[in-house]
Chain A
Amino acid sequence: MTDRLGPEERQMAAAQRAYTAASRGEGIETPAVAYVPRTMSFEWTWKYFIGLFLWMVLYDAIGVGFFTRGFLLSRSVLTDVSPSDWQLTELHEPPHIDNGCWTEPKFDKAIMLVIDALRFDFSTPQPGSNKPYHNALTVMSELNQNQPNKAFLSKFVADPPTTTLQRLKGLTTGSLPTFIDAGSNFAGSEIDEDNWVYQMWALNQTVYQCGDDTWDALFGKYFAAANPYDSLNVWDLYTVDNGVKEHLLPAYKSGNYRMSIGHTLGVDHAGHRYGPDSPKMTEKLQEMDEYIREIIDSLDDDTLLIVFGDHGMDSKGDHGGESDLEVDATLFMYSKKDWVAPNDQISEGGYPSIPQIDLVPTLSLLMGLPIPFNNLGSPIAEAFLGPNKDPKALANVLQLTSAQIENYRQKYGFDDLGGLYKKTVKVDSSKAGMWESIVSNHYNFQRTNLDQCRSLWAQFDFASIFAGFAIIGSSLILMILYSRLPILDVEGSLEKLCNYSGLSAFMTAPAFYALASYGAFGESWPFDALWTSGLGFCVGTLLGYSIYYIRHFSKKLQRAEIGTIAVILITLIHVALFTSNSFTIWEDNILSFLLSTIGFGLLINAAQLPSSNANRAKAISHSIMFLILTRTSAVSRLCREEHGDKCSTTFYSSDASSVSAPYTVALLILGAFLLPLLVKGFLIESGSDHGSAKFHIWGLFGVMMSVAVYWFLDLFVTEQLKWSDPLFGDIELLSNMKLTIARIVLGVTLLAANVSWMFGLCVEVKYTKKDGVNQAQILGYSNVYGAQYLLLVLNFFGAILLVSKPLGGVMMIIQMYHIMTTIDLLHILETPASIGPVILAVLGNAYFFSTGHQATIPSVQWDIGFVATNTISFPLTHLALVLNSLGPQILSTVSTPLLVLWKIPPVRKSSLLFASCGQSMLVSVAYQTAVTLSAAVFATHFRRHLMVWKIFAPRYMLGGLTLIVVDVVAVLVVGFGVGNIINHVKKTFGTDAKKTVTANTSLKSDLGEQWDALQ
């Protein structure tokens, strides 16, 4: 017999499923649609579902695009460096330069003291205020008042996001901050734009830094010496400040350094920890007051002291956003000689307001350095006018800055602002007040440029953000509504629904485009024509869908049963993680915990099966295996920075390395033997280990061994292992062998195996002699779809295995086993249709973390991009990176149709079976959409959070990427996998209504007779 474990019972279980019942015309629920249900031909269902999922890709991509555009500020990074010997021909009456690069340096040395989060009102006189943070730090305003030619005090306006890392980049490069610096090196936080620290290093001028270790991360290799301190522990108000006090002045006094930088964090931490309205803040500010006085006492005449805050803080002491309190910091410059133009308005308490990036050209030119290539700031007028207010000196530096900015604009590819630069450099020397007019012209040019750049790069764009929310949210609602319909309605309404939505979208998208081009939305409409047409596309889809849906189904949604409640609970738990930074950080452990809980629930469910059920023992052992596999997968971890010492990395051979330990390759080889056996074990139960299965299982073994060999060779290339044999010492030869293996494996798994898959089935006809009569049986008949589809999953698995690092590969093997266990288990438990896809989706998300990833940019395994190529080349590099990063999610998505297809015999209504698969894919995608939407919403909600760019924004990026990739994979799965397998079975077994196979026959265990009859 094909089936040792109660074939009849199995068939009955299969018969209970909705679509089979429907396909036989027994006990069909009356469809909601008013017209008589006209089920479509299979081919059309197939086509329409491909259309539906393609539609979804487009819809989600537009939504993610809108949000990303509004939230993740982006610009291109140019890595050019300003030359030190730049002869400007346009310069009007250039002064003679003895030493220094672009200008004669005004100071020999400089001390820079950064007081993190020093808000402007902390350092200026606030008469009558008794707030703890007012009038505590008075040294700056006193000096500014008493020695106006020596001290300069101003408001120092930051560009949001007001986080220290982004601010330091701005304060050294002079460019505006963005989250994605496209084209930059994603892997490290190291800075790769031209900046004054680099310029000093390049000119052999020494820089010393102490305090906040962000500097060290950005510029470490350009410092002559440094004493970095950990910046993340906001509970500690003293360690960093005491460290700065201990090191900064001695470093300056030693005379070894041209520039000494100190960065204190006490004020910032006091704000985060206690808020500004606390005695701790007074204490900290007074301490800073004393320290500045101490520095001033030890200054010599040729030293410039610069004190500033990199950003402010809001009323609760946090920062990151763009409120006035957060962006208004303090800038104070002082030297013992007369050097600066006095502030005329000081008597009225007026202070100049200066953008932070202005510090960059100012500092560069005061110290005689080239202005960094990307700078957008302007020199501070007072610093160059000098005590005598000589406009000629200022005009000279302004011309240098304008020339640098124009050079940058040309290189970046901006428009020419209507020839503004040409007009600016044209000097009319006949007029009186020539220098004044040069000054005002150049300021005009530089500020126009800055305004243009700022409007292009540096704003959260709430219109886009909310459009993104609306689109992703509506796609979620559409999917949920559609997946909650009875299956007959899903299939019956597909055609009309697609037609309605499609027609409507194809009308609105061009209409919106046209309206936007003619400016019909008014002046303040935030999107250009192309984005507007994207919006129109979504609006049209929504409109068509709702019209049809409300007319026919508004009352016909299935009621929620226990399974659905479980689905909602699981989704809510995952979605709720992003409400807290701690939960987001520990998502890896929490997902494992969630998975264990699901496994435990399944175990109880299995125990509830009546003891008469022959599969009860198997269900229990499967669910225990589910728990064990979950725990095993949780062993492999990559810690992220925020985990601190509560976590140790097991994914790589040690916490501080990023190479894989040799034992992992041994595990990979072991897996290559085990997994094919396990697959065979799962297939053998339904007699499906025949036909194409034999070939594919051997193929799987071959692919897995090749991958193991690949990583074995890699151990020699990375010199983890050494062997005296000359073959294993020849790195170049080994690399070539690796490359060959990788390309063969990719070619086999992604192309060859899939083509051969299309023509196979895991069935075999067996002839036996019974009572003297020749009989034929079809082995594998009861699992005709599932077995063959599993082979397709294994093809994808092979490709993912190749691009996973060894331990990641081991985890993928475990995931494959986990998926098969889950599918068999859910089949026995007969869980409601919606729960399986969600469990698989959670599984995929959990294994994402097991395969050495985190929701952070540094954890992306960039080196995998070079598995199959030596240089970056499309598409191999990109494909490898996507398969590596999102492999677990992809594998889960590809496996989702198995939940429907596993262990059912051929059905008559293929189109209903197809609709059922499509519905389960919709649930899976809906889950990812919910997670992505939540990540986006909370990233926006926490945009002022201290760690938004470290925690929430990267999590959103992961979510957005996962959603798009899962969408695309869903198209492949539905269009290629599910469509082909159902079509193939339909053709082979003739299960269309007109053929002679009737429902009852499939319940008989001895199917061979039918087969013979068909012949």
Chain B
Amino acid sequence: MATRKAAKTKANGPAHVPSGPSQVLAVVYGTLLLVYLRFIFSAGITHDPAKVMTQALPGLLLLHMGYCVVVLGNKPGRKIGTDVSTAMIAAALSVFFSVIIFGLLVLFGAPAISLVHNTFVCAMHMSILAVLPLFFTYHLDSKVWADIIAMRRPLDHVYAASVCTLIGAWLGAIPIPYDWDRPWQQWPITILAGAYLGYFVGTLGGIALELTKSLCSKTKKTE
């Protein structure tokens, strides 16, 4: 037990996540994504989930890449927009990563044969939401990724958003069994909505954690 604890505290360095104004921007962006979700719903996701979700993919990809470049890549001493190529690589990686998310969805009980298209598009949404910023921030540092998978990293708002996206998708499964016969109970609409909401909540929660942490360290310093 002792060794495991030590490993936990020795997580690989502090997060490279910018703070200050970019936190505000992150919240704004999270809200923007909720608006985007509303837009997906008004585009008729309940009539044809697969089609509407597929059409919404490029938009999400662009939004998220833009967010990475403008907000996450905003570090002191660097011009905004220098990381476009990184963002593109991260985007490509996250699209590939959706295969793993798809696998996870199936392992959690998604239909394996029917509705593959729906499930896969949902996995792509989740992968872009959760994994793209991680690839952008941490590149392919295997140590960091091992920590990410083992839930050993401190919860900055990027990581928290990713974790909460998955938790939100998990919670999204809850309304499906109800016998309400609503169109939005179709697979995988609730999962998708849960993921987006989770992303937003995770961003907020992560920022709250960061703020309390910095407050604590400040008070310690003044003492």
Contact = CB atoms under 8 A, between A and B. Distances in A.
A272 to B, nearest CB: 12
A299 B23 CA distance: 81
A600 B167 CA distance: 12
B107 A627 contact: yes
A499 interface: no
A607 B3 contact: no
B106 A631 contact: yes
Contacts of B4: 608-610
A592 B181 CA distance: 23
A582 B150 contact: no
A760 B150 CA distance: 42
Given A585-B177, A586-B177, A607 B109 contact: no
A646 B156 CA distance: 41
B80 interface: no
Contacts of A592: 109
B197 interface: no
A507 interface: no
Given A607-B149, A612-B3, A634 B177 contact: no
Interface in A542-600: 580-583, 585-586, 589-590, 592-593, 596-597, 599-600
Contacts of A590: 177
B109 A634 contact: yes
B149 A589 contact: no
B123 interface: no
A2 interface: no
A628 interface: yes
Contact of B150 (A581, A604, A634): A604
A630 interface: yes
A612 to B, nearest CB: 7
Contacts of A580: 178
Given A585-B177, A607-B146, A610-B3, A628 B152 contact: no
A593 B150 contact: no
B189 interface: no
A607 B150 contact: yes
A589 B177 contact: yes
B177 A608 contact: no
Given A608-B4, A627-B107, A628-B107, A597 B151 contact: no
A235 interface: yes
Nearest to A589: B109
Nearest to A642: B179
A116 B152 CA distance: 61
Of B8, B177, B181, which is in contact with the most chain A CB atoms at under 10 Å from its CB?
B177
B151 A608 contact: yes
Contacts, number: 55
A583 B176 CA distance: 10
A631 B109 contact: yes
Nearest to A596: B108
A346 B185 CA distance: 54
Nearest to A16: B1
A600 B170 CA distance: 12
Contacts of A581: 179
Nearest to B146: A607
B24 interface: no
A593 B173 contact: yes
Contacts of B173: 593
A267 B167 CA distance: 44
Nearest to A630: B107
B146 A596 contact: no
B103 to A, nearest CB: 9
B122 to A, nearest CB: 16
A214 to B, nearest CB: 20
Contacts of B112: 631, 635
B107 A583 contact: no
A631 B104 CA distance: 10
B215 interface: no
A589 to B, nearest CB: 6
Contacts of A599: 107
Given A582-B178, A631-B109, A597 B150 contact: no
Contacts of B181: 235
B73 to A, nearest CB: 28
Interface string A622-651: 000001101100110000000000000000
B7 interface: yes
A599 B104 CA distance: 11
A226 to B, nearest CB: 28
B142 to A, nearest CB: 11
A604 B108 contact: no
Interface string B74-107: 0000000000000000000000000000001011
Contact of B177 (A235, A583, A607): A583
A561 to B, nearest CB: 11
B130 to A, nearest CB: 14
Contacts of A607: 146, 149-151
Contacts of A830: 1
Nearest to A611: B146
Contacts of B8: 608
A635 B152 CA distance: 34
A589 B149 CA distance: 26
Interface of B: 1, 3-4, 7-8, 104, 106-109, 112, 146, 149-152, 170, 173, 177-179, 181
Interface of A: 235, 580-583, 585-586, 589-590, 592-593, 596-597, 599-600, 604, 607-612, 627-628, 630-631, 634-635, 830
Given A592-B109, A608-B151, 17 more contacts: A235-B181, A582-B177, A586-B177, A589-B177, A593-B109, A596-B108, A596-B109, A600-B104, A600-B108, A607-B146, A610-B4, A610-B7, A627-B107, A628-B107, A631-B108, A631-B112, A634-B109
Q: Which 3 A/B pairs are nearest by Cβ-Cβ distance?
A: A607-B150, A586-B177, A608-B150
6 contacts: A586-B177, A607-B146, A608-B7, A608-B151, A627-B107, A631-B109
